Amino acid sequence: MNNDNKNKEKIMIRKYRYGNPFPTGAVACEIAAEKKEQTAFRLNAEGEFTLALAPEDCVYGLGEAVRGINKRGWHYESCNEDDPIITEKRTALYGAHNFIVVAGKKGVFGAFFDCADRVLFDIGYTDPDELRVKAVADFDLYIVEGKSAVEVVREFRKLIGDSYIPPKWAFGFGQSRWGYRCEADIREVADGYAESDMPLDMIYLDIDYMDHYKDFTVNKERYPDLKALAADMKKRGIRLIPIIDAGVKVEKGYDIYEEGVEKGYFCKDAEGEPYVVGVWPGDSVFPDVLNPEARKWFGSKYRILLDEGIEGFWNDMNEPSIFYSKKRLAGVLEKVASARGRNMPLEEYHGILGAIGTLANNRADYAEFFHDTPNGTVSHLSVHNLFGCYMTRAAAEYFEEYQPDKRYLLFSRSSHIGMHRYGGIWTGDNASWWTHLLLNLKMLPSLNMCGFLYVGADIGGFGDNTSEDLLLRWTALGIFTPLMRNHSTLDTRMQECFRFKDKKTFRNLLGIRYALVPWLYSEFVKSATRGDMMFRPLAFDFPDDRRARTVEDQLMVGEGLMIAPVYEQNAAGRYVYLPEEMKMIRMRSATDYEETMLSAGDHYLEIPLTETVFFLRKGHALPLAEPAKCVDALDETKLRWIVSGNAAEYEMYVGNGESKSELKTALRKLKVPQEKK
């Protein structure tokens, strides 16, 4: 990174240091801090960095957050938080992604607040014409310059390093549910998809597969031979993807617990003893993943399941989530017991409810345990946002040691910028709400800005009961997201696609996804290796189009495609804005589709549940494969093409996509046939 003050015109990123920040690991290439703090921001009396906002300025970024693509008008907090009720009033979700891009009449720049602790963003909430940012601890501020939002993001991605690239089969469709309790349930799901002639590449194992919720164990009554089951599923083109939770059960005789205690690899309380909290197994402790030795030890435990034939994992509960601390639980139980047999007035009753509400994820509890880091002992509270990132890093680093050239599937619920180098994320415990379908769409570009490309939401919604039309519309969006997983929680309606009446449409939608895999995988790898965004707001591609700045329910995808999903209940279609002439593709199946050129401007399009509609810019081409039962069975030598205008060639990544070294030789420039007239 060029930071020579004699060549200021070449400098794209400037760094300013405030205090002595804890190193987060977010930045992949170090640059020297500027001596003079000449940033775009002013520092006010409250210690906030402020920036005047013009009416036309847009503020993008913050990765995983509620509300719109343009973040103006609300306040946000980087404080990784497990709360399954995700509504517009929330200020924090599961990730800490402190990067924003300000784009307006005066130009474009980016700002990254590299801080291990909380950062507060007030983006026109207190004062509609002012941006305010306040970090509660020391931090590095990076100002990223560029001529456009796309260029700013590209420069920022150079700073934070290359994005994780999963194996190609991870671009297939996955089915998950908390409630697949035994091997018979797994086989029922695999058979259900096969009998309905629907493709499937992954079945996820939630906490039910474990022995009493103990990490890296298998319940032998429910899954008597996981290795044989994994091998049998793989013969059918299906990988099993187990969950790994952050909390390790406190239990004598449990080798991972006893070994971790012996070696001092768990987070400790003020007296130096393992800090005990309540999570799924009851009494639990957290691996000290900020300690390099402990991180290497915990990562090595993934080998237990790798040896069973497992090729992918999802890390969960790693904010870390706490149901209760032992001390706080004792106090609340005492308060509840004191009310036994008494007539409680309203205030006292609500006081007890309030006390119970303080049990889970209480920030005061986070201050009571500590990490041993290369920078000394630190309170968990001050590095809370890093835990999920470093847990996922533990696994990724072990995979690199175990099989350096093999690509494994790895994604996480909690994250921090920097984790994008080790794995992807899913957007947490959403609900079967139409608003969450739209929120899924709006999060995609913001996450891409922060380096997270392998992303997706729980299709159909995790909590509550989905409906057939909601699942169909959400699946129609999901066919474009790299991580495509249908996931639901215990005690909700079973929402596997084959259980619904309109099996044909689900079959066709999944068929379209598999036809798109060669294109989707190629666009993903190109974005990952070139520092580009796979999903972009229209304003990024059409910065001079004032109308494009206001469109938040359409996205550009890859080099030339635009999506505009239907996201409202009972809608027969929707209005779509085209910034330029584009080709509309109306697909009923992977082989049954219509191509129509549409002029720039507004169009109302009828889009029944049985159809998927998207758009292709002129000068671009879209390769389509014949659908298959799984990604491994796709034949990339026989492609059909949708062409818009004069597209001469298409860059496509070929091969099985399982090795890292393959990427060096897998890129092909394919000749594109002439557009059909």
| Residue 194, beta-bridge partner list | none
Residues 464, 473: Cα–Cα separation, whole Å:
17
| Residue 313, beta-bridge partner list | 410
Say yes or no to pLDDT of 35 above 80: no
How confident is the model over 52-57, as a mean pLDDT?
A: 95
pTM of the model: 0.96
pLDDT of amino acid 68: 97
pLDDT in tens, 87-123: 999 999 999 999 999 999 889 999 999 999 999 999 9
Minimal CA–CA distance to 422: which of 448, 398, 443, 446? 398
How confident is the model over 189-198, as a mean pLDDT?
A: 98
Minimal CA–CA distance to 114: which of 23, 238, 40, 13? 23
pLDDT of amino acid 39: 80
How confident is the model over 550-572, as a mean pLDDT?
A: 97
Least confident of 2-16, 401-415, 640-654: 2-16
How confident is the model over 481-495, as a mean pLDDT?
A: 98
Residues 156, 8: Cα–Cα separation, whole Å:
17
| Count, residues in the chain | 677
Which helix H or strand E contains 504, and what residues bound it?
helix 503-530
pLDDT in tens, 501-524: 999 999 999 999 999 999 999 999
317: left (phi over 0), alpha (psi -120 to 50) or beta: left
**Dihedral, CA atoms, 39, 44, 46, 49, nearest 10 degrees?**
-30
657: left (phi over 0), alpha (psi -120 to 50) or beta: left
Minimal CA–CA distance to 424: which of 162, 169, 163? 163
Which amino acid appears at position 517 of this protein?
Answer: V
CB-based contact 316:245 (threshold 8 Å): yes
pLDDT of amino acid 382: 98
Most confidently modeled of 29-33, 354-358, 382-386?
Answer: 382-386
Residues 6+ apart with CB under 8 A from 289: 295, 298, 387, 390, 391, 393, 394
How confident is the model over 137-161, as a mean pLDDT?
A: 97
How confident is the model over 643-659, as a mean pLDDT?
A: 94
Least confident of 194-208, 323-337, 369-383, 552-566: 323-337
pLDDT of amino acid 2: 40
- pLDDT band at residue 341 under the 50/70/90 scheme: confident
Which amino acid appears at position 88 of this protein?
Answer: E
Say yes or no to pLDDT of 677 above 80: no
CB-based contact 280:207 (threshold 8 Å): yes
Query: Given the structure tokens 């175990």, which residue do they identify?
Result: 402
Mean pLDDT of the chain: 96
Instruction: Say how many C-beta atoms besides its own lie within 10 A of residue 354's C-beta.
Output: 10
Report the b/e string of 417-452 with b at 16+ CB within 10 A.
Answer: bbbbbbbbbbbbbbbbbbebbbbbbbbbbbbbbbbb
Residues 108, 647: Cα–Cα separation, whole Å:
31
pLDDT of amino acid 10: 61
pLDDT in tens, 234-257: 999 999 999 999 999 999 999 999
How confident is the model over 132-140, as a mean pLDDT?
A: 97
Which helix H or strand E contains 451, and what residues bound it?
none
pLDDT in tens, 285-303: 999 999 999 999 999 999 9
Higher per-residue confidence, 555 vs 38: 555
CB-based contact 631:168 (threshold 8 Å): yes
Residues 6+ apart with CB under 8 A from 10: 2, 4
Dig out the tokens for 504 from the structure.
């044909």
pLDDT of amino acid 530: 96
Say yes or no to pLDDT of 8 above 50: no
pLDDT of amino acid 105: 82
How confident is the model over 485-505, as a mean pLDDT?
A: 98
- pLDDT band at residue 339 under the 50/70/90 scheme: confident
pLDDT of amino acid 7: 39
Sign of the dihedral through C-alpha 648, 654, 659, 664: negative
Query: Given the structure tokens 């992949």, which residue do they identify?
Result: 28
Say yes or no to pLDDT of 432 above 90: yes
pLDDT of amino acid 148: 97
pLDDT of amino acid 1: 41
